[in-house]
Amino acid sequence: MAWLPDCLEKLQCARDDKTRQLAARWIGHKMDEVRECKEHFGGALAWAAARDDNAEVRGACLESLGKLGADAVFYADVVEKAARKDDDMYVRIAAVRALAEIGKTTEKFPQVRTLRKLAVRDHEAIIRTNAAKAIAFFDNAANQEMEFVAREAMEGAWACSFCGDHALAEQLLCQRCGGQKGDNPGNDPVFRSRALTAVGEFGPKATPFSEALAKAALKDSVIGVRLAAADTIGKLRDHCRPAQELLLTAFLGIPGGAMAPYLMDYLPRKTGLSVCAVGCGICTLLIRGLHNGKARAFLGVLGFKLLLPTWQMTTMLLPSELFGTQIRTWGFACASTCGRIACMLCPFAVGHGTDGFTAILATLALGAAIVVQLLPETKDCDLTENVINTRPSLSISRKLSMAESASEAQTSSYGAAGTSKV
């Protein structure tokens, strides 16, 4: 290693830019040989990376520091500053990649927070992409930062006013520094779209965020964010299969929603609700084999998504048809309250496992189909002032004929009255 002092001298003192660049690259090329002497050249590389006038020299020094790996952790601050503030794009990319190499195997690496902010908030797309890939390159130190990126993609997320880290919306203080709740960057669709794109660079590590991606693709208020989430799900492919399955299941509900008005118009209320409730109960039991890839489970999902809209719409419609004007609001409120109570109890039912949960749902569906038979039929009934609407309305044809007869009677009497007056 007699060449090392001469190489360091050229790196620091040579006037020719190409010479300094070759010196920095040569150290990186021979890193396995000179790693034990890192104290002698690490500082020189960091100094040149921060102060050299030539961008290519600074980039070469950062690449060499990256090859030094965890041994260059003492110079991570210099690399971080280059990633944030350097004027040259090539230098910033080299700094971002060097941070990933330096902190990959460490348990704690504060500079990963900078990578997370660059992945979402930097104005250059190529920097955001490389920063997101750098975050995914870490072993363990970036797990929390990946969660923060995924959380920033969710509408309604918020950031601490002091340290900029994200916390759950229902919390009043920052998880990291204890600061007060700050601005709401989740309301900015640009940042949400960038965060979703960053999650797409996580590769296999994006699997835990599949549900969040599907939620953004289906429920975000901005269509551009929904498209970005769908694009991210497509990019991740098998790494985001839960999100793909959730989106497919959601799309299966579209034919059911389109079919519901026709079924409600054709079938009596009690018959439609009973049939759909029993069908949904049976489909719920068939879903048990979904995790094993059984064909009957997929048929169960399809049947459930087709029948549930009719069951749900009929359930929402019954209180408004069943109760008279005097108590209609009260009755509808009671029905809605019972539904909310069921939603609160649902997590306890989920705790019984897949088999127990589906058995409870099937039992409730069968119970609904039986109980609804005790109610009066409300289809084609007039909405009256009575407490319970049970009087069937006249058929449309009969109504039209009666209206025509009344019109004719009125016309003839009018004509007779006119004639008598004349």
The tens digit of pLDDT for each residue in 253-299 reads 888 888 888 888 888 888 888 999 999 999 888 888 776 767 788 88
Q: What six digits make up the tokens of 182?
A: 């700050």
Q: Could you give the C-alpha distances from 293 to 281, 283, 337, 340, 359, in angstroms and in order?
A: 20, 15, 37, 33, 20
pTM: 0.61
Question: Residues 146, 137: contact at Cβ < 8 Å?
Answer: no
pLDDT tens for 39-64 read 777 888 888 888 888 999 999 999 98
The long-range contacts involving 344-349, CB below 8 angstroms and separated by at least 24 positions, are none
- 161 pLDDT band (50/70/90 cuts)? low
Q: Are 310 and 276 in contact (CB under 8 A)?
A: yes
Digit-coded pLDDT (tens) for 163-179: 555 544 445 566 666 65
Q: For the purposes of burial, counting CB atoms within 10 Å of the CB of 5, is it exposed (0-12), middle (13-18) or buried (19 or more)?
A: exposed
Query: Does pLDDT of 92 surpass 90?
Result: yes
pLDDT band at 404, cuts 50/70/90? Answer: low
Confidence grade of residue 394 (pLDDT, cut at 50, 70, 90): very low
CATH 1.25.10.10 in the chain, residue ranges = 3-158+183-198
* pLDDT, the chain, mean: 78
pLDDT category at 229 given cuts 50, 70, 90 is confident
Residue 78 has pLDDT above 60, yes or no: yes
For domain 3-158+183-198, the CATH architecture is: Alpha Horseshoe (1.25)
Mean pLDDT for the stretch of residues 195-203: 85
pLDDT for res 278? 92
State how far the Cα of 394 lies from the Cα of 408, in Å rounded to an integer. 20
d(CA 246, CA 193): 20
